[in-house]
A = this chain, B = another copy of it.
Amino acid sequence: MSSSSTGSRGETVPTVPSAAGVADDVDGVDVSGMLDRGRTLATPVLRAAVDRLAPPMDTVAAYHFGWIDAEGRPSAGDGGKAVRPALALLSAEAAGAAPEVGIPGAVAVELVHNFSLLHDDLMDGDEQRRHRDTVWKVHGPAQAILVGDALFALANEILLELDTVEAGRATRRLTTASRKLIDGQAQDISYEHRERVTVEECLEMEGNKTGALLACAVSIGAVLGGADERTADALERYGYHLGLAFQAVDDLLGIWGDPEATGKQTWSDLRQRKKSLPVVAALSAEGEAAERLGELLAADAKSSDFENFSEEEFAARAALIEEAGGRDWTAQEARRQHTIAVEALDSVDMPERVRRQLVALADFVVVRKR
């Protein structure tokens, strides 16, 4: 693989040479179409599941998913990249089943993902999500808690009502992933209050918060399709490391991403004082830049003027992170995780088309700009 770009903010992070850098076609695979298929097949079932909720929880959930606006009017919404549903359908195909077999898994994983978003946004006090006010901001904290709980319960309900041995196994994997998701959020909260976090701690937290549910998404379809535990475990390994690669790229975009593409502010993660991978890696490096960065961030933590910092002040911090090697290290980590993910697929016997699609999705995840 080629080395990553270390150019200025706004450039892409081309970590995989073969990829086109756009979603439509990666390695000759129509990634856009693959993501669209997941969204198209899973969304109606997801909406039907959410419709089961008693009022006003159904409305609050519909707002969260972007299907209606704060006044209850229908809305096109931004369903996100829909990587998880796409993975769940491919997962079923990896086990030789029809993609539709993965739909309840796709829906259950999306429900758990959104349960965690609802609760995390409240715990973190985040007021915006997908360019809209968060649920607790619009409907109040009680509804955010309640609807999160309901989506979590609904996820298990959707799977268990299939009433098969496979569904029981799928629910068990989803429960394990949910517990990791919660562990990751607990770590994230506790790290906020600490001055120093090691790279290992950061990776463990990101593995829990992002890796575990992607791992579940890419194994759950196969489990529902009757795959054995060994196959499911290998697919989980792919998903877990795909998640870590995804998060490393997210952490790069959180600092050096193009605001027009990401929809976030410039230097977004720095403004939120996030201890993301580039920051943690830079702080744990040797040398003058790392030392200067450590002093600056320690002072920032106590600064009452932090919210009024200029673009230049954030740019100076980003430059120090880069100089201390935090950007390079994170780009390399994304490639490393991408490699482990793709290699995990080697031990699984699956249709060649599905393998090519999973590899293309991994490539897409590390070259995306948003």
User: A119 to B179, Cβ gap below 8 A?
Assistant: no
Contact of A160 among B119, B141, B152, B175 (CB under 8 A): B175
Interface presence of A339 (CB below 8 A): no
Q: Interface with B: A186-194, A275-283, A300-308, which one?
A: A186-194
Residues of B within 8 A of A179 (CB): 150, 153-154, 157
CB closest residue in chain B, given A165: B165
User: A182 to B160, Cβ gap below 8 A?
Assistant: no
User: A54 to B172, Cβ gap below 8 A?
Assistant: no
Interface residue SS majority, chain A: helix
**Complexed CA–CA distance, A160 and B169 (Å):** 8
**Complexed CA–CA distance, A190 and B57 (Å):** 11
User: A56 to B171, Cβ gap below 8 A?
Assistant: no
Interface presence of A232 (CB below 8 A): no
Interface presence of A156 (CB below 8 A): yes
| Total chain A interface residues with beta-carbon distance under 8 A | 38
User: B157 to A161, Cβ gap below 8 A?
Assistant: no
Number of copies: 2
Residues of B within 8 A of A122 (CB): 141, 145
Given contacts A54-B183, A122-B145, contact A172 B178 (CB under 8 A): no
Interface presence of A261 (CB below 8 A): no
Interface presence of A123 (CB below 8 A): yes
A56, A141, A152: which has the most chain B beta carbons within 10 Å?
Answer: A152
A369 to chain B, nearest CB (A): 32
Contact of A142 among B123, B154, B183 (CB under 8 A): B123
Interface presence of A134 (CB below 8 A): no
User: A146 to B185, Cβ gap below 8 A?
Assistant: yes
A214 to chain B, nearest CB (A): 18
**Complexed CA–CA distance, A146 and B149 (Å):** 11
Mark each residue of chain A from 162 to 205: 1 if its CB lies under 8 Å from any CB of chain B, else 0: 01010110011001101100110111011000000000000000
CB closest residue in chain B, given A158: B175
**Complexed CA–CA distance, A122 and B57 (Å):** 18
Given contacts A123-B146, A153-B178, contact A172 B161 (CB under 8 A): yes
**Complexed CA–CA distance, A128 and B154 (Å):** 30
User: B189 to A146, Cβ gap below 8 A?
Assistant: yes
Q: What residues make up the interface of A, taking CB atoms closer than 8 Å to B?
A: 54, 56-57, 115, 119, 122-123, 141-142, 145-146, 148-150, 152-154, 156-157, 160-161, 163, 165, 167-168, 171-172, 175-176, 178-179, 182-183, 185-187, 189-190
